[in-house]
Structure 1
Amino acid sequence: MNRLHALRHSLQHATTNEFRVACLCIVASLLLAVPCEAADEQPPNIVLMMCDDLGWGDTGFNGNTIIQTPNLDQLASEGVILDHFYSVGPVCSPTRASFLTGRHYYRMGVWTANQGHLPAEEYTLARMLHDQGYATGHFGKWHLGTLSRTMSSKGQKRRPDLHYSPPWERDYDTSFVTESAVCTWDPGIGPRSKNNPYFENGQPTHENVLGCDSRVLMDRAIPFIEDSVRQQKPFLSVIWFHAPHEDIQAGPEYLAKYKGHGEAAHYYGCITAVDDQVGRLREKLQELHVADNTLIFFCSDNGPEGGVPKDRSKTRRAGSAGEFSGRKRSVLDGGVRVPAFVHWPKHLPSEIRNETPTSVLDLLPTIAHLTNAKPHPQRQLDGENAWPIWKGEISQRSKPIPFRYGNFACLVSDGYKLIIESPQNTPKDRLFHLATDVKEQNNLADQHPDRVASMREEILSFLESSKQSHAGKEYDNASPPVDRWRGLGKK
């Protein structure tokens, strides 16, 4: 205030030239006074990593004592472990749609895995940062539409003529992706690769697609980062590992690390393979002298696969949801609460376990804040800027976190989760207090009717808003949706 008062006094006694100089001084003074959390000399680089079907309890930083994840553990310990982080989707494609847009996947018609696609009208992280001058790259799994107009993986579950939606037409400068899951070893061959090759910048490729899949994709991500640094451009690198999604196969060196663990050795080994590539990435960032100005985020797309494999000769699936109930395909926390951390020691505290609920919905608004970008004004965001939460400045979020899958819709708000199965009928409503009932076994709906009624109203309002989004109400000149709206319960 003293500085501004002095400038005001100078203006009152200034000549024309002096007035111009004083105005410039005021502008500079105000710019310096504006708080900017990412106030480096250049915009921050962003690396967003995600595993596929990695359970909350599958990493050392969340207490696993068998699976070796030293690089992830070190990054987590130097940053903020997001102890209550939600994928939002209990399966792959929905989470990925929300990850890139900050919007619930039902707004886009991405109902479940291998269904729907990322509409061209959506304002994604890649588009937002591309508009800010960033180099944008996507590596690994895509799962948000077909990569060809004539073929699709997974037995043609997506019609390629309706669901063509590749990353190179969604504002990525560089991409190296598969449409859906591949084997974690030798991804370029085998049943999973049928109609599902790696596409490199829009063209199918069979070059360097054998061996460890995590290494194969990092072999493409690192040159993208090197090239961005060489061009002195900030970069967004989205790296979506296939591991530990089936088909699970670990390479010989990783199997040797888990000798005596039977079939689980493959699961453990492919996670450690991911960890090695994360360590390799970190070393490269340090070598390029950009580590201090690079935010690294890591999570999983849903809980671990559950049950017994189709091949009954194999042991029960090895993934761990920790202490939580439910696994993949469940809206219970074991299906949607996943391991996560954010690492940027120059700006964030270290050795912190943050227990405030956050989710993939928060990534776009948070990164918008950090890069001074603006989300699309006509796109209803379901996430919020989580930067004050990550920094520990606040301990409560302002927006509830919505879920929708199969027969269920639910909401996490103010420490509670409400799960409903019908817009009108309430007997199956379930209300859980998450802090005191981590297994979600004690239904409190009858004890808190007012809370249930309020949260029910929020859920139904969210669903109606999503229905309008799905119909294209937020898009200019949008074509009709390719699939009908999927309501909740019987109308």
Structure 2
Amino acid sequence: MLQPEQSWSWLAVAIGVLLAAKPSAGRDLFGSRPSILLLMADDLGIGDVGCYGNTTIRTPNIDRLAEDGVVLRQHLAAASVCTPSRAAFLTGRYPLRSGMVSSNGYRVLQWTGVSGGLPANETTFAKILKDKGYATGLIGKWHLGLNCESPSDHCHHPLKHGFDHFYGTPLSLMGDCARWELSEKRAALERPLRLGARAFAAAAAALALAAGRLGGLTARSWAPAAWAAAAAAAGLGAASRCLGALIVHADCLLMRNRSVAQQPMRFQRTAALMLREVSAFVRRNKQGPFLLFVSFLHVHTPLITTENFRGRSRHGLYGDNVEEMDWMVGQILDTLDAEGLANSTLVYFTSDHGGSLEAQFENHQYGGWNGIYKGGKGMGGWEGGIRVPGIFRWPGVLPAGRVVHEPTSLMDVFPTVVQLGGGQVPQDRVIDGRDLLPLLLGTVQHSEQEFLMHYCEQSLHAARWHQRDRGAVWKVHYVTPVFHPDGAGACYGRGVCPCSGEKVAHHDPPLLFDLSRDPSEAHALTPDTEPLFHQVMERVARAVEDHRRTLSPVLLQLDTPDNTWKPWLQPCCGPFPFCWCDREADPG
């Protein structure tokens, strides 16, 4: 009689054979297609979670997922900031391929009222699964664009990219939403308005003076006109500040499908509203199958945290926010349990990129911890910006407690869920993701990702080579940010580290690390310390050239023309700019 371990081994082999036979084998083997629940945190550091080594922030629900499922220890985002990372996740393609990058430093979509966004010709996993009969929903953050030419064309809307239902924010959270910190975005908007007001004042005063003198008026006669011009300028300056605040506050909105539901968001209710929506979607579609992408607003600044969780953690408001998000994960898992869906639902948890080291205000740290890994959000190549949690749970199918140390990517989710849902990976374009199911099951021991490229905007900052026959993971850095102050490990006072210009260092020869021996990237290898130095450099250089030959020029969606605020594209539920409404009943 087979022992339990042997039985599982034979089952895994059988699954692997069936999966290799045809793409729909997963569906045939398990009798019906699974429902799929994707959970993505925002700006969460890999070191913030208990199952990845944190001992001071309580994350029991995420840890429970890890205990019951498979943990990926080298799971990597395709970009170290929100918009391009999420585009890559949904499409299985490097963001450079879809144009979801910029060439001028605007690395994410800045406003709701811009014309840039995920192009209509990109195919998301939601679109494929919808075509295969899945009910598809997105609850939470989108940040991949909304409109193109009019406030109602919704050309980039989630409903145009395969989702049947959307409830959340089309942009992202930002400091302006809570008016709790200085905002570069608000300042950038107000500055030209103030300059315009001053120019108007100067012109009006000059005209008043000229008219007075040409008309032969005395100083007493034209002085009131000059004072009126000065008063008008002061009024315009004050109005510019008010208008700037109103506009950025209008970006902090909730939408239900195509309509504005709440503007601005009422943060003490946001978590409860999101959970109510998740529960309603699951119950409405419990006959399955469904695909639900829960894209948390936690733990991005301004760290919206309800009173129930404030002051509970040992790490201030950031720790409170992480613990509230973990509680939300638990509530969602409880909903699956209550509806009897746990065993028929594949659950995945991750973050869009690493924690933000520069998120500081008044000497308080409001960003995440990236554990032993160097760098953080915004740094294109360093591990701290791109290594993220990756947990898969599917009771009775995936082995509980399995840990995988192989390199994997958020882009791998695309082919994995597409094939589980009975779909076909598109053949008319390059797909950079690889099906993870054999690796998760244990039917193969190595990831299909031999090389991974790490971009910062258009610039290739680093490349990774998984040399399977040696068990090595080589990392080659071509460009790294210049930390400020020197040696600080981040770019404090600069928002996030830049991708190009004077604030980055170009390395010739490139920096080389072996992550299998030095995951912290603390000791760069040299020809004197690594006999394979030149061999590795040559092999990675060939892989980079092979990769570049697969790239095609596309319109960059995050460049200035498409990433500049256009008032006529701004969603507003009142007379602009007084966008103020609340159409959401208090959740019970």
Contact 1:186 1:211 in 2 (8 A): no
Q: Does 1:170 align with 2:219?
A: no
Code of the residue aligned with 1:342 in structure 2: it is F
Q: Cα 1:308–1:185, aligned 2, differ >3 Å: closer, same or farther?
A: closer
Match in the other structure for 1:294:
345
Q: For residues 218 and 463 of structure 1, what CA distance do their matches in structure 2 show?
A: 43
Q: For residues 418 and 368 of structure 1, what CA distance do their matches in structure 2 show?
A: 32
Match in the other structure for 2:218:
none
**Cα displacement (A) at 1:76:** 1.1
Residue among 239, 263, 279 paired with 1:222:
279
- Note the residue ranges of structure 1 that are not aligned, 5 or more in a row: 1-29, 152-159, 472-479, 486-491
Match in the other structure for 2:300:
245
Match in the other structure for 2:134:
134
Q: Cα 1:71–1:278, aligned 2, differ >3 Å: closer, same or farther?
A: same
Residue among 523, 526, 530 paired with 1:442:
523
Deviations 1:446-469 (A, max 9, x none): 441122122122123323422x1x
Code of the residue aligned with 1:43 in structure 2: it is R
Q: Give 3-state SS (helix, strand or coil) of 1:83's partner.
A: strand
Q: Cα 1:149–1:240, aligned 2, differ >3 Å: closer, same or farther?
A: farther
Deviations 1:89-120 (A, max 9, x none): 11111110111111111101111322752111
* Range that drifts further, 283-292 or 333-342: 283-292
Q: Does 1:462 align with 2:547?
A: yes
Q: Give 3-state SS (helix, strand or coil) of 1:356's partner.
A: strand
User: What is the 5 A alignment of 1:22-101?
Assistant: 36-38=25-27, 39-101=29-91
Code of the residue aligned with 1:250 in structure 2: it is T
Which is higher, the Rg of structure 1 or of structure 2?
A: 2
Q: Cα 1:316–1:438, aligned 2, differ >3 Å: closer, same or farther?
A: same
Q: For residues 546 and 478 of structure 2, what CA distance do their matches in structure 1 show?
A: 13
Contact 2:477 2:507 in 1 (8 A): no
Match in the other structure for 1:303:
354
Q: For residues 254 and 344 of structure 2, what CA distance do their matches in structure 1 show?
A: 31
Residue among 226, 234, 238 paired with 2:289:
234
Q: For residues 363 and 514 of structure 2, what CA distance do their matches in structure 1 show?
A: 37
Match in the other structure for 2:96:
106
**Cα displacement (A) at 1:392:** 2.1
Q: Give 3-state SS (helix, strand or coil) of 1:357's partner.
A: strand
**Cα displacement (A) at 1:257:** 1.7
Deviations 1:116-166 (A, max 9, x none): 521111111111101110001011111111357557xxxxxxxx99x9511
Q: For residues 421 and 285 of structure 2, what CA distance do their matches in structure 1 show?
A: 17
Higher RCO (C-alpha under 8 Å, 6+ residues apart): 2
Q: Give 3-state SS (helix, strand or coil) of 2:308's partner.
A: helix
Residue among 255, 269, 272 paired with 1:199:
255
**Cα displacement (A) at 1:213:** 3.2
Match in the other structure for 2:185:
none
Q: Cα 1:459–1:409, aligned 2, differ >3 Å: closer, same or farther?
A: farther
Please report the TM-score for the alignment, with normalisation by the length of structure 2.
0.67
**Cα displacement (A) at 1:419:** 2.0
Q: For residues 339 and 108 of structure 1, what CA distance do their matches in structure 2 show?
A: 25
Q: For residues 374 and 36 of structure 2, what CA distance do their matches in structure 1 show?
A: 33
Q: For residues 122 and 72 of structure 1, what CA distance do their matches in structure 2 show?
A: 31
Q: How many residues align?
A: 426
Q: Cα 1:339–1:483, aligned 2, differ >3 Å: closer, same or farther?
A: closer
**Cα displacement (A) at 1:431:** 1.7
Contact 2:48 2:368 in 1 (8 A): yes
**% identical aligned pairs:** 27
**Cα displacement (A) at 1:340:** 1.8
Q: Does 1:416 align with 2:465?
A: no
Residue among 303, 306, 309 paired with 1:254:
309
Contact 1:210 1:216 in 2 (8 A): no
Q: Cα 1:186–1:106, aligned 2, differ >3 Å: closer, same or farther?
A: closer
Deviations 1:238-264 (A, max 9, x none): 111011111114222112423xx4xx4
Contact 1:213 1:242 in 2 (8 A): no
**Cα displacement (A) at 1:354:** 1.2
Q: For residues 56 and 481 of structure 1, what CA distance do their matches in structure 2 show?
A: 30
Match in the other structure for 1:5:
none
* Range that drifts further, 89-98 or 315-324: 315-324
Q: Give 3-state SS (helix, strand or coil) of 1:54's partner.
A: coil
Match in the other structure for 1:272:
323
**Cα displacement (A) at 1:216:** 2.4
Q: For residues 48 and 557 of structure 2, what CA distance do their matches in structure 1 show?
A: 37
Match in the other structure for 1:12:
none
Q: Give 3-state SS (helix, strand or coil) of 2:349's partner.
A: strand
Code of the residue aligned with 1:106 in structure 2: it is L
Q: For residues 359 and 327 of structure 2, what CA distance do their matches in structure 1 show?
A: 28
RMSD of Structure 2 on Structure 1 (CA): 3.0
Q: For residues 104 and 237 of structure 1, what CA distance do their matches in structure 2 show?
A: 23
Q: For residues 381 and 289 of structure 1, what CA distance do their matches in structure 2 show?
A: 35
Deviations 1:374-432 (A, max 9, x none): 0111021111111111122223223322211044432222111122249xx96141221
Match in the other structure for 1:337:
387
Code of the residue aligned with 2:475 in structure 1: it is K
Contact 2:82 2:108 in 1 (8 A): yes
Q: For residues 104 and 203 of structure 1, what CA distance do their matches in structure 2 show?
A: 31
Please report the TM-score for the alignment, with normalisation by the length of structure 1.
0.80
Q: Cα 1:285–1:186, aligned 2, differ >3 Å: closer, same or farther?
A: farther
Q: Give 3-state SS (helix, strand or coil) of 2:406's partner.
A: coil
Q: Cα 1:404–1:481, aligned 2, differ >3 Å: closer, same or farther?
A: closer
Q: Cα 1:108–1:462, aligned 2, differ >3 Å: closer, same or farther?
A: same
Contact 1:100 1:364 in 2 (8 A): yes
- Note the residue ranges of structure 2 that are not aligned, 5 or more in a row: 1-17, 102-106, 111-115, 181-244, 467-472, 481-505, 561-588
Q: For residues 278 and 340 of structure 2, what CA distance do their matches in structure 1 show?
A: 17
Match in the other structure for 1:369:
419
Contact 2:463 2:544 in 1 (8 A): yes
Q: Cα 1:60–1:148, aligned 2, differ >3 Å: closer, same or farther?
A: farther
Residue among 497, 515, 536 paired with 1:451:
536
User: What is the 5 A alignment of 1:322-333?
Assistant: 322-330=371-379, 331-333=381-383
